[in-house]
Chains A and B, each alone.
Chain A
Amino acid sequence: MSTLPPFSLTDQQLVAQVLSGNTAVFGQLVQRTEGLVTQLVFKMIRHPADRPDIAQEVYLKVFKSLAGFKFQAKLSTWVGQIAYNTCLHYLEKKQLVLLDPAEPTPADATEASRRGPPPLVAGPGSDPEAALFDHDLAGILGTAIEQLPPLYRTLISLYHQQELSYEEIAQITSLPDGTVKSYLFRARKLLKQQLLARYQRDDL
Protein backbone atom coordinates (compact mmCIF):
# COMPACT_ATOMS: atom_id res chain seq x y z
CA MET A 1 0.00 0.00 0.00
CA SER A 2 1.26 3.50 -0.75
CA THR A 3 2.29 5.60 2.20
CA LEU A 4 0.33 8.81 1.97
CA PRO A 5 -0.24 11.58 4.49
CA PRO A 6 -3.12 11.03 6.91
CA PHE A 7 -6.59 12.08 5.91
CA SER A 8 -6.21 15.58 7.29
CA LEU A 9 -7.67 17.44 4.32
CA THR A 10 -11.34 18.19 3.89
CA ASP A 11 -12.92 17.17 0.60
CA GLN A 12 -12.81 20.80 -0.57
CA GLN A 13 -9.13 21.20 0.30
CA LEU A 14 -8.32 17.90 -1.33
CA VAL A 15 -10.05 18.82 -4.58
CA ALA A 16 -8.45 22.28 -4.56
CA GLN A 17 -4.99 20.82 -4.11
CA VAL A 18 -5.42 18.31 -6.91
CA LEU A 19 -6.75 21.02 -9.22
CA SER A 20 -3.79 23.26 -8.38
CA GLY A 21 -1.49 20.55 -9.74
CA ASN A 22 -0.65 18.49 -6.65
CA THR A 23 -1.59 15.17 -8.19
CA ALA A 24 -0.03 13.15 -5.35
CA VAL A 25 -2.92 14.25 -3.12
CA PHE A 26 -5.25 12.42 -5.50
CA GLY A 27 -4.07 9.26 -3.72
CA GLN A 28 -6.01 10.39 -0.65
CA LEU A 29 -9.14 10.68 -2.74
CA VAL A 30 -8.61 7.14 -4.00
CA GLN A 31 -8.05 5.80 -0.49
CA ARG A 32 -11.14 7.56 0.85
CA THR A 33 -13.41 6.15 -1.82
CA GLU A 34 -11.86 2.87 -2.93
CA GLY A 35 -14.06 0.84 -0.55
CA LEU A 36 -17.16 2.11 -2.29
CA VAL A 37 -15.69 1.85 -5.79
CA THR A 38 -14.34 -1.65 -5.18
CA GLN A 39 -17.69 -2.76 -3.81
CA LEU A 40 -19.51 -1.35 -6.87
CA VAL A 41 -17.07 -2.89 -9.33
CA PHE A 42 -17.12 -6.30 -7.66
CA LYS A 43 -20.89 -6.38 -7.43
CA MET A 44 -21.63 -5.12 -10.93
CA ILE A 45 -18.85 -6.80 -12.90
CA ARG A 46 -18.89 -10.57 -12.87
CA HIS A 47 -15.64 -11.22 -14.68
CA PRO A 48 -12.72 -10.82 -12.27
CA ALA A 49 -10.26 -10.08 -15.08
CA ASP A 50 -12.15 -6.93 -16.08
CA ARG A 51 -12.44 -5.43 -12.61
CA PRO A 52 -8.95 -3.90 -12.15
CA ASP A 53 -9.14 -2.02 -15.47
CA ILE A 54 -12.61 -0.71 -14.67
CA ALA A 55 -11.60 0.48 -11.20
CA GLN A 56 -8.64 2.35 -12.65
CA GLU A 57 -10.77 3.77 -15.43
CA VAL A 58 -13.16 5.12 -12.79
CA TYR A 59 -10.41 7.07 -11.06
CA LEU A 60 -8.96 8.40 -14.29
CA LYS A 61 -12.42 9.72 -15.15
CA VAL A 62 -12.71 11.22 -11.66
CA PHE A 63 -9.36 12.95 -12.12
CA LYS A 64 -10.28 14.35 -15.52
CA SER A 65 -13.72 15.52 -14.39
CA LEU A 66 -12.65 16.95 -11.05
CA ALA A 67 -12.67 20.54 -12.32
CA GLY A 68 -16.37 20.15 -13.06
CA PHE A 69 -17.25 18.89 -9.58
CA LYS A 70 -19.09 21.67 -7.73
CA PHE A 71 -19.87 19.85 -4.44
CA GLN A 72 -23.51 19.45 -5.40
CA ALA A 73 -23.18 16.06 -3.64
CA LYS A 74 -20.68 14.45 -1.29
CA LEU A 75 -17.38 13.74 -3.01
CA SER A 76 -17.74 10.01 -2.29
CA THR A 77 -21.26 9.99 -3.75
CA TRP A 78 -20.01 11.71 -6.90
CA VAL A 79 -17.17 9.20 -7.24
CA GLY A 80 -19.68 6.40 -6.65
CA GLN A 81 -21.85 7.84 -9.41
CA ILE A 82 -18.94 7.76 -11.85
CA ALA A 83 -18.10 4.20 -10.78
CA TYR A 84 -21.71 3.09 -11.23
CA ASN A 85 -21.97 4.72 -14.67
CA THR A 86 -18.66 3.23 -15.76
CA CYS A 87 -19.82 -0.24 -14.75
CA LEU A 88 -23.16 0.37 -16.43
CA HIS A 89 -21.39 1.38 -19.63
CA TYR A 90 -19.33 -1.81 -19.43
CA LEU A 91 -22.48 -3.92 -19.01
CA GLU A 92 -24.13 -2.16 -21.96
CA LYS A 93 -21.07 -2.74 -24.10
CA LYS A 94 -21.15 -6.42 -23.21
CA GLN A 95 -24.93 -6.42 -23.73
CA LEU A 96 -25.50 -7.57 -20.17
CA VAL A 97 -28.62 -6.54 -18.33
CA LEU A 98 -28.66 -5.24 -14.77
CA LEU A 99 -31.78 -7.05 -13.70
CA ASP A 100 -31.60 -10.36 -15.54
CA PRO A 101 -30.93 -13.40 -13.41
CA ALA A 102 -27.17 -13.66 -13.44
CA GLU A 103 -25.48 -16.43 -15.31
CA PRO A 104 -22.79 -17.99 -13.19
CA THR A 105 -19.32 -17.46 -14.59
CA PRO A 106 -16.93 -20.39 -15.00
CA ALA A 107 -15.23 -19.19 -11.82
CA ASP A 108 -18.54 -19.25 -9.95
CA ALA A 109 -19.35 -22.70 -11.26
CA THR A 110 -15.98 -24.00 -10.14
CA GLU A 111 -16.45 -22.42 -6.75
CA ALA A 112 -19.93 -23.89 -6.42
CA SER A 113 -18.78 -27.37 -7.37
CA ARG A 114 -15.85 -27.09 -4.98
CA ARG A 115 -18.19 -26.24 -2.14
CA GLY A 116 -20.56 -29.05 -3.02
CA PRO A 117 -24.22 -29.22 -2.08
CA PRO A 118 -25.47 -27.41 1.01
CA PRO A 119 -24.55 -29.50 3.99
CA LEU A 120 -27.80 -29.43 5.88
CA VAL A 121 -31.54 -29.68 5.67
CA ALA A 122 -33.75 -28.61 8.51
CA GLY A 123 -35.30 -31.80 9.73
CA PRO A 124 -38.95 -32.24 10.58
CA GLY A 125 -39.78 -30.75 13.91
CA SER A 126 -36.61 -28.70 14.07
CA ASP A 127 -36.65 -24.93 14.22
CA PRO A 128 -36.09 -23.74 10.64
CA GLU A 129 -34.61 -20.42 11.73
CA ALA A 130 -32.17 -22.17 13.97
CA ALA A 131 -31.33 -24.54 11.13
CA LEU A 132 -30.66 -21.59 8.88
CA PHE A 133 -28.67 -19.44 11.24
CA ASP A 134 -26.81 -22.06 13.23
CA HIS A 135 -24.64 -22.65 10.20
CA ASP A 136 -22.11 -20.54 8.42
CA LEU A 137 -24.61 -17.92 7.36
CA ALA A 138 -21.96 -15.44 6.24
CA GLY A 139 -20.47 -17.88 3.76
CA ILE A 140 -23.81 -19.03 2.46
CA LEU A 141 -25.13 -15.49 2.29
CA GLY A 142 -22.08 -14.34 0.30
CA THR A 143 -22.73 -17.06 -2.26
CA ALA A 144 -26.46 -16.26 -2.35
CA ILE A 145 -25.75 -12.57 -2.95
CA GLU A 146 -23.51 -13.52 -5.87
CA GLN A 147 -26.47 -15.31 -7.43
CA LEU A 148 -28.59 -12.15 -7.44
CA PRO A 149 -28.84 -9.94 -10.54
CA PRO A 150 -26.08 -7.26 -10.61
CA LEU A 151 -28.35 -4.39 -9.61
CA TYR A 152 -29.80 -6.26 -6.65
CA ARG A 153 -26.46 -7.32 -5.25
CA THR A 154 -25.16 -3.79 -5.77
CA LEU A 155 -28.06 -2.32 -3.80
CA ILE A 156 -27.66 -4.89 -1.02
CA SER A 157 -23.98 -4.11 -0.66
CA LEU A 158 -24.42 -0.33 -0.82
CA TYR A 159 -27.14 -0.37 1.83
CA HIS A 160 -26.02 -3.10 4.20
CA GLN A 161 -22.24 -3.07 3.78
CA GLN A 162 -21.45 0.50 2.82
CA GLU A 163 -24.31 1.71 5.02
CA LEU A 164 -25.45 4.33 2.52
CA SER A 165 -28.89 5.87 2.83
CA TYR A 166 -31.64 5.42 0.25
CA GLU A 167 -30.99 9.00 -0.90
CA GLU A 168 -27.27 8.42 -1.41
CA ILE A 169 -27.92 5.21 -3.32
CA ALA A 170 -30.48 7.06 -5.43
CA GLN A 171 -27.88 9.71 -6.25
CA ILE A 172 -25.27 7.13 -7.20
CA THR A 173 -27.60 5.05 -9.36
CA SER A 174 -29.73 7.96 -10.67
CA LEU A 175 -32.80 5.95 -9.71
CA PRO A 176 -35.72 7.54 -7.86
CA ASP A 177 -35.70 6.99 -4.07
CA GLY A 178 -38.88 4.91 -4.28
CA THR A 179 -37.39 2.67 -6.94
CA VAL A 180 -34.28 2.09 -4.86
CA LYS A 181 -36.44 1.15 -1.90
CA SER A 182 -38.63 -1.12 -3.98
CA TYR A 183 -35.67 -2.89 -5.61
CA LEU A 184 -34.02 -3.30 -2.24
CA PHE A 185 -37.14 -4.92 -0.80
CA ARG A 186 -37.29 -7.30 -3.75
CA ALA A 187 -33.58 -8.05 -3.49
CA ARG A 188 -33.85 -8.94 0.20
CA LYS A 189 -36.93 -11.07 -0.40
CA LEU A 190 -35.16 -12.88 -3.23
CA LEU A 191 -32.15 -13.37 -1.00
CA LYS A 192 -34.26 -14.87 1.75
CA GLN A 193 -36.02 -17.12 -0.75
CA GLN A 194 -32.68 -18.30 -2.12
CA LEU A 195 -31.43 -19.08 1.34
CA LEU A 196 -34.64 -20.90 2.22
CA ALA A 197 -34.47 -22.86 -1.03
CA ARG A 198 -31.04 -24.06 -0.01
CA TYR A 199 -32.59 -25.43 3.13
CA GLN A 200 -35.60 -26.82 1.27
CA ARG A 201 -38.06 -24.82 3.30
CA ASP A 202 -41.12 -23.03 1.99
CA ASP A 203 -41.34 -20.33 4.56
CA LEU A 204 -40.05 -19.14 7.85
Chain B
Amino acid sequence: MPDLDREAMRAAAQRIQKLSDDHWWALHPSCELMDAGAWVGPTGGRFGQTVHGRERELRAVLARAVADASDKLAGTR
Protein backbone atom coordinates (compact mmCIF):
# COMPACT_ATOMS: atom_id res chain seq x y z
CA MET B 1 0.00 0.00 0.00
CA PRO B 2 1.44 3.38 -0.99
CA ASP B 3 2.18 5.48 2.03
CA LEU B 4 1.59 9.11 1.24
CA ASP B 5 2.88 11.87 3.44
CA ARG B 6 0.40 14.19 5.03
CA GLU B 7 0.61 16.89 2.34
CA ALA B 8 0.17 14.46 -0.49
CA MET B 9 -2.78 12.91 1.33
CA ARG B 10 -4.39 16.30 1.91
CA ALA B 11 -4.09 17.07 -1.82
CA ALA B 12 -5.60 13.69 -2.67
CA ALA B 13 -8.52 14.24 -0.29
CA GLN B 14 -9.16 17.63 -1.88
CA ARG B 15 -9.19 16.15 -5.37
CA ILE B 16 -11.63 13.46 -4.27
CA GLN B 17 -13.82 16.13 -2.68
CA LYS B 18 -13.75 18.07 -5.95
CA LEU B 19 -14.71 15.01 -7.98
CA SER B 20 -17.62 14.56 -5.61
CA ASP B 21 -18.66 18.23 -5.87
CA ASP B 22 -18.39 18.23 -9.66
CA HIS B 23 -20.60 15.15 -10.07
CA TRP B 24 -23.02 15.64 -7.18
CA TRP B 25 -25.66 16.91 -9.64
CA ALA B 26 -24.82 14.60 -12.58
CA LEU B 27 -28.17 12.78 -12.51
CA HIS B 28 -30.21 15.73 -11.38
CA PRO B 29 -31.40 16.98 -14.81
CA SER B 30 -32.80 13.52 -15.60
CA CYS B 31 -34.61 13.46 -12.25
CA GLU B 32 -36.07 16.91 -12.79
CA LEU B 33 -37.20 16.18 -16.32
CA MET B 34 -38.90 13.01 -15.15
CA ASP B 35 -40.61 14.98 -12.39
CA ALA B 36 -41.78 17.40 -15.06
CA GLY B 37 -43.59 14.56 -16.89
CA ALA B 38 -41.14 14.00 -19.75
CA TRP B 39 -42.22 10.36 -19.93
CA VAL B 40 -45.54 9.17 -18.49
CA GLY B 41 -46.85 5.65 -18.07
CA PRO B 42 -45.96 2.46 -16.19
CA THR B 43 -42.59 2.01 -17.84
CA GLY B 44 -41.82 5.72 -17.57
CA GLY B 45 -42.84 5.65 -13.91
CA ARG B 46 -40.42 2.81 -13.20
CA PHE B 47 -37.68 4.67 -15.04
CA GLY B 48 -38.31 7.76 -12.88
CA GLN B 49 -37.96 5.72 -9.70
CA THR B 50 -34.78 4.10 -10.95
CA VAL B 51 -33.22 7.44 -11.82
CA HIS B 52 -34.09 8.97 -8.44
CA GLY B 53 -32.78 5.92 -6.63
CA ARG B 54 -29.59 6.03 -8.60
CA GLU B 55 -29.06 9.70 -7.80
CA ARG B 56 -29.36 8.91 -4.07
CA GLU B 57 -26.95 6.03 -4.39
CA LEU B 58 -24.44 8.08 -6.39
CA ARG B 59 -24.40 10.69 -3.65
CA ALA B 60 -24.00 8.05 -0.94
CA VAL B 61 -21.08 6.46 -2.80
CA LEU B 62 -19.41 9.83 -3.36
CA ALA B 63 -19.89 10.72 0.32
CA ARG B 64 -18.26 7.46 1.30
CA ALA B 65 -15.22 8.08 -0.88
CA VAL B 66 -14.84 11.58 0.63
CA ALA B 67 -15.25 10.22 4.16
CA ASP B 68 -12.68 7.45 3.52
CA ALA B 69 -10.21 10.05 2.32
CA SER B 70 -10.73 12.42 5.26
CA ASP B 71 -10.47 9.53 7.76
CA LYS B 72 -7.17 8.53 6.24
CA LEU B 73 -5.97 12.14 6.30
CA ALA B 74 -6.83 12.42 10.01
CA GLY B 75 -4.83 9.26 10.71
CA THR B 76 -1.75 10.45 8.78
CA ARG B 77 1.10 12.07 10.79
**B and A form one assembly:** no
Query: Which residues on B are within 8 Å of A, measured CB to CB?
Result: none
Query: Which residues on A are within 8 Å of B, measured CB to CB?
Result: none
